[in-house]
Amino acid sequence: MRTIVITGASDGIGAEMARQLAALEGTANGGPGVNLVLAARNAAQLEAVAAECATLGAQTMIVPTDVSIQIQCRRLVISAVERFGGLDVLVNNAGRSAHALFEEVEDLSWYEELMRVNLWGAVWCTQAALPHLKDSKGSIVAVSSLAGLVGVPGRTAYSATKFALTGFFEALRAELKGAGVSVTTAYPGVVATRIRYRGFNAQGEAMGTSALKEEGAMSVEECARLIIEGMNARRREVVMTAKGKIGRFMKLLAPGLVEKMALAALKQDVRPPQ
Ligand SMILES: NC(=O)c1ccc[n+]([C@@H]2O[C@H](COP(=O)([O-])OP(=O)(O)OC[C@H]3O[C@@H](n4cnc5c(N)ncnc54)[C@H](OP(=O)(O)O)[C@@H]3O)[C@@H](O)[C@H]2O)c1
């Protein structure tokens, strides 16, 4: 029976991964059982997700955690190991979005805050979890973004955090090869969650509205399914859309063209009220 820690499990992709893992491995459907450790800041929402997973026969534990605070990341891993005796998978999924032109931003302090959530939270959780993952020859998942493969105009802060995450886990994957710990980096495109409504605007406040076109977004169910599939197959990467796969190679062959496409996409963005 695996013990799986998921950060950002109170909503969106993380919550859906928890539900799908419970459905796949929980005892209610004849699975082997699974221990799910759910982390995020909102305890009430974590409780609700845990209750859904428990009905599917998963053992659950919630650990209210702000991943932008190192000690809370450590406490998350310690709590999981104390309760379940080890750790098999760490899913670094917690993240926040941001949408602003760099020139519109006066106070850059929220750029640092975003880096603490999207990069440092994953680094801190991974450092705490690593000895246990080596013991179990387990797996790490990092949920990056297509914005972590191609710099997206209007998203300097977000792209910077996701490129950093991508680079950190690419290097770590090679370092951990001998130890038998797999590292899977997922690159979702636009997925139908509330992330864009909660992201920072130029003033460092919650957007309250999405600055992207939401129609055509991948469903959260499909996104979670693809990440779980990649994680279980111990794949290096999960690049989710055809656009992402093509864009990545185009960037090497014709970077100017990719830049033009990105700028054209920016012009189509639904701009929030200024
Ligand atoms: N949706 C997309 O289109 C998309 C595309 C590419 C990549 N991604 C990435 O996918 C991941 C999940 O995003 P999502 O779309 O599922 O977003 P979401 O629905 O807004 O969920 C984000 C999760 O992260 C948690 N979180 C935020 N700040 C946190 C903090 N400081 N400490 C702990 N938990 C925190 C939130 O819970 P609390 O508020 O309760 O803390 C929530 O559970 C993110 O890393 C995101 O960058 C999403």
pLDDT of residue 196: 83
Report the residue among 5, 6, 10, 13 best suited for mutation to probe ligand 1: largest number of ligand atoms under 8 A from its CB. Answer: 13
Instruction: Tell whether the model's pLDDT for residue 14 goes beyond 70.
Output: yes
Instruction: Tell whether the model's pLDDT for residue 60 goes beyond 70.
Output: yes
Instruction: Tell whether the model's pLDDT for residue 219 goes beyond 90.
Output: yes
Q: What is the mean pLDDT of residues 36-52?
A: 98
CA distance 153 to 259: 9
Please give the distance, rounded to the nearest whole angstrom, from the Cα atom of residue 17 to the centre of ligand 1.
12
pLDDT of residue 242: 87
Instruction: Tell whether the model's pLDDT for residue 161 goes beyond 90.
Output: yes
pLDDT of residue 273: 39
Which residues have C-beta atoms less than 6 Å from ligand 1?
7-14, 40-42, 45, 65-68, 93-96, 117, 143, 145, 188, 190-191, 193-195, 198
Q: Is 188 helix (H, G, I), strand (E, B) or coil?
A: coil
Marked catalytic residue, from 111, 158, 187, 197: 158
Mean pLDDT computed over every residue of the chain: 93
pLDDT of residue 30: 92
Instruction: Tell whether the model's pLDDT for residue 133 goes beyond 90.
Output: yes
Instruction: Tell whether the model's pLDDT for residue 274 goes beyond 80.
Output: no
pLDDT of residue 257: 87
pLDDT of residue 265: 72
Per the model's pLDDT, the better-predicted residue between 176 and 244 turns out to be 176
Instruction: Tell whether the model's pLDDT for residue 267 goes beyond 70.
Output: no
Burial class (CB in 10 A: 0-12, 13-18, 19+), 192: middle
Burial class (CB in 10 A: 0-12, 13-18, 19+), 195: buried
- Which residue's entry shows tokens 């419970």? 22
Strand ranges in the chain using DSSP code E only, listed in sequence order: 2-7, 34-40, 59-64, 89-92, 139-143, 182-187, 237-239
Single out the residue of 69, 248, 193, 67 nearest to residue 142, CA to CA: 67
- Which residue's entry shows tokens 């955690």? 65
Tell me the Ramachandran region of residue 246: left when phi exceeds 0, alpha when psi lies from -120 to 50, beta otherwise: alpha
CA distance 88 to 218: 28
Look at the alpha carbons of 119, 121, 124, 127 in this order and tell me if their dihedral is positive or negative: negative
Q: What is the chain's Cα-based Rg?
A: 18
Task: Please name every residue paired with 237 in a beta bridge, in sequence order, or none if there are none.
Answer: 185
pLDDT of residue 130: 98
Instruction: Tell whether the model's pLDDT for residue 85 goes beyond 90.
Output: yes
Single out the residue of 82, 77, 32 nearest to residue 57, CA to CA: 32
Q: Is 34 helix (H, G, I), strand (E, B) or coil?
A: strand
Domains and CATH numbers, the chain: 2-268 (3.40.50.720)
Q: pLDDT-derived band of residue 216, with 50, 70 and 90 as boundaries? A: confident
Q: pLDDT-derived band of residue 249, with 50, 70 and 90 as boundaries? A: confident
Asked if 18 contacts 38 with a C-beta cutoff of 8 angstroms, the reply is yes
Can you tell me which atom of ligand 1 is nearest the CA of 195? 20
Q: In this structure, which amino acid lies at residue 166?
A: T
pLDDT over 70 for what percent of the chain?
96
Least reliable range by pLDDT among 16-30, 38-52, 54-68, 210-224: 210-224
pLDDT of residue 115: 98
Q: Residue 111 catalytic?
A: no
Per the model's pLDDT, the better-predicted residue between 253 and 135 turns out to be 135
For the chain, how long is the longest CA-to-CA vector? 55
Please give the distance, rounded to the nearest whole angstrom, from the Cα atom of residue 182 to the centre of ligand 1.
22
